[in-house]
Amino acid sequence: MPCYRFDGLVPVVDPTAFVHPTASLIGDVIIGPRCYIGPGAALRGDFGRLVVENGANVQDNCVMHSFPGADCVVEQDGHVGHGAVLHGCRVGRNALVGMNAVVMDGAVIGAESLVAAMSFVKAGMVVPARTLVAGSPARVMRDLTEKEIAWKSHGTAEYQELARRCHETLAEVEPLREMEKDRPRFAGGHVTLDKAR
């Protein structure tokens, strides 16, 4: 992975975390255990500190950054969807930020909350725990159900397992010229030899 020291600060990555080789880590970045950092993610700790806590994921093409002296944090089991931008904010424990959402400086996403895809969370907004926010600008829509929180937790567990699987099986290769006969498929997150119906 591209990993850069900046003004004497070197990123820290727990050995159980997986950072994709195309993700970039710069300066004051701390990645905790069992985290997954996806392809093309840019975590630029050249002004403020960026922290991704135990079991959290920051997916493909996400951006994390902050103003000088301010932290940007994804707390334990946080889940940041493809293409999201986090700037100087805090994503609470077991919360989800949807695809292509933007969360601005000083915003706090409460524990077990969900920011809908494409939402814009304004600077300084405090999202209550266990709520759904959506829109541009985002506003609280309703409380989340236990079923929705369980769905989110299951998705995050899949990314924790993905980090482990990437350590064990991800390898750069040349593509095949044609599809092999009886090509296996992924089922439940793992390769199976069962054919598609």
Q: What is the mean pLDDT of the chain?
A: 94
187 band by pLDDT with thresholds 50, 70 and 90: confident
- Let me know: does 69 contact 86? Beta carbons within 8 Å: no
The residue range of the domain holding 11 is 3-146
In a domain, 184, yes or no: no
Q: What is the mean pLDDT of residues 25-36?
A: 98
Which of 16-25, 32-41, 172-181 has the least mean pLDDT? 172-181
In a domain, residue 166? The reply is no
The count of other CB atoms within 10 Å of the CB of residue 7 is: 8
**Is 24 a member of any domain?**
yes
Could you tell me the sign of the dihedral formed by the alpha carbons of 43, 45, 50, 51, in that order? Answer: positive
Q: How confident is the model at residue 190 (pLDDT cuts 50, 70, 90)?
A: low
Give the CATH number, domain containing residue 60: 2.160.10.10
Q: Which of 33, 80, 70 is nearest to 50 (CA)?
A: 70
pLDDT tens digits along 43-85 = 999 999 999 999 999 999 999 999 999 999 999 999 999 999 9
- CA dist., res. 62 & res. 142, Å (int): 26
Number of helices followed by number of strands (H, E) in the chain: 1, 22
pLDDT at 194: 46
pLDDT tier, 196 (very low <50, low <70, confident <90, very high otherwise): very low
Report which residue type is found at 2: P
Q: How confident is the model at residue 188 (pLDDT cuts 50, 70, 90)?
A: low
pLDDT digits (tens, 9 = 90+) for 95-123: 999 999 999 999 999 999 999 999 999 99
Work out how many domains the chain is built from and give that number: 1
Any idea what DSSP says for residue 119?
-
Going by the DSSP 8-state scheme, the letter that residue 159 receives in this structure is H
Distant-in-sequence, close-in-space partners of 111: CB < 8 Å, separation ≥ 6 = 75, 92, 93, 94, 95, 129, 130
- Tell me if 179 is assigned to some domain: no
Q: Residue 42 pLDDT > 60, yes or no?
A: yes
Q: How far apart are CA 80 and CA 100, in angstroms?
A: 9
Asked, for residue 120, whether it belongs to a domain, the answer is: yes
Q: Write down the pLDDT at residue 185.
A: 86
Percent of the chain with pLDDT over 90: 91
Does 159 reside within a domain? Answer: no
Q: Residue 39, by phi and psi: left (phi above 0), alpha (psi -120 to 50) or beta?
A: beta
Q: Is residue 28 part of a domain?
A: yes
Confidence bin at 186 (pLDDT 50/70/90): confident
pLDDT at residue 191, as a whole number: 54
Q: Does residue 155 lie within any of the structural domains?
A: no
pTM of the model: 0.93
